[in-house]
Amino acid sequence: MQTQSGHPLIAIDWGSTHLRAKLVIDGAAVDQVASADGIRNRRGRDFDDILQSQCGRWRKKFPGIPVMMSGMIGSREGWAEVPYVTTPTGVADLAGALATVSSRHFDTVTIVPGVRFDPPGGDTTDVMRGEETQVSGVLAARPETGVVTICLPGTHSKWVVCRDRRIEAFRTWLTGEAFERLTSDSLLCGEGGGIVDPACAAFARGLELSATDGGLLHHLFLGRTEMLTGRVAAADLRGLISGLLLGHEIREARKFARGPLFLVGDSPAAKATARALEYFDLACEHITDHDVHLAGLLAIRAAAQTSDGEN
């Protein structure tokens, strides 16, 4: 890493379905672009060419500008598979495992590694790519140590336990993806679409049903019968399914979480999670006014530059 923290940087969150890039100068985003060019949507196109098409104007304005990325771009299906670092891990560990990939268009392109968690005494593994950068951004803004839990809602919701500013353990729930699939191609589609209003009665009904006997698969079928019996209108069925899934996620996650809880983001998934946490009387600090991904990239970059300076 040859640049200083105040120099221009292209910071990218490159996931499965979207690419979000920011032009950063003196630590602040001054321009940005977002597209549907996630790694699942590239349709055979070259990652380097996609990057050039989205960010080439910034490179033209700032020759030699470095690019720093995190997310699924570092997965097996991405630009290059960047090995996971294992828990416990912090910003310095992520900085020490940055991977540099070759580019025809840009001088320096680096990718943040993901994180792997193997529960002690178990035979399972959980992984993340991209969320470690968000967690780094949350922790960078909070000097306190001790144990906290960070909830990152989304397609694959993460609950991350951190101790002394390092990721110690985490679990993933397939909540967002399950919702999208169940409400688009199943008996639970109902009518209509769009964003679920977490203030609606059907959402609360789903949270309520998640506490009853029978387990998730039975409860999902109850969504069908709730509609057939007229307890929930077909147009509100998506809200009930959202409440059911989030109810099950939170009931399990609260057994895992430790310390103060931080909820990140203002997406529909984050707003629904905030409402569900309120329903279950679980206190949290909801972070909506802070770009935690950019803050995390900058923290990792600064750690890498410090390490380079020491070497």
* pLDDT average, residue stretch 219-233: 95
80 pLDDT higher than 70: yes
* Together in a domain, 301 and 282: no
* Together in a domain, 302 and 279: no
- What is the pLDDT confidence band of residue 4, given thresholds at 50, 70 and 90? very low
* Together in a domain, 223 and 307: no
The domain that contains 42 carries what CATH number? 3.30.420.300
Q: What is the pLDDT of residue 121?
A: 85
* Together in a domain, 258 and 297: no
The answer to whether 274 touches 286, Cβ cutoff 8 Å, is yes
* pLDDT average, residue stretch 181-194: 88
The domain that contains 248 carries what CATH number? 3.30.420.310
* Together in a domain, 149 and 237: yes
* Together in a domain, 114 and 220: no
Total of domains in the chain = 2
- What is the pLDDT confidence band of residue 139, given thresholds at 50, 70 and 90? very high
1 pLDDT higher than 90: no
* pLDDT average, residue stretch 260-283: 97
Residue appearing with tokens 């967002």: 176
2 CB burial (10 A radius; 0-12, 13-18, 19+): exposed
Bridge partner residues of 172 (DSSP):
158
144 pLDDT higher than 80: no
- What is the pLDDT confidence band of residue 309, given thresholds at 50, 70 and 90? low
* pLDDT average, residue stretch 201-212: 97
79 pLDDT higher than 50: yes
* Together in a domain, 107 and 59: yes
59 pLDDT higher than 90: yes
Q: What is the pLDDT of residue 6?
A: 58
- Domain span at residue 217 reads 144-289
Q: Residue 68 contacts by C-beta under 8 Å, 6 or more apart in sequence?
A: 9, 10, 11, 12, 110, 111, 112, 297, 300, 301
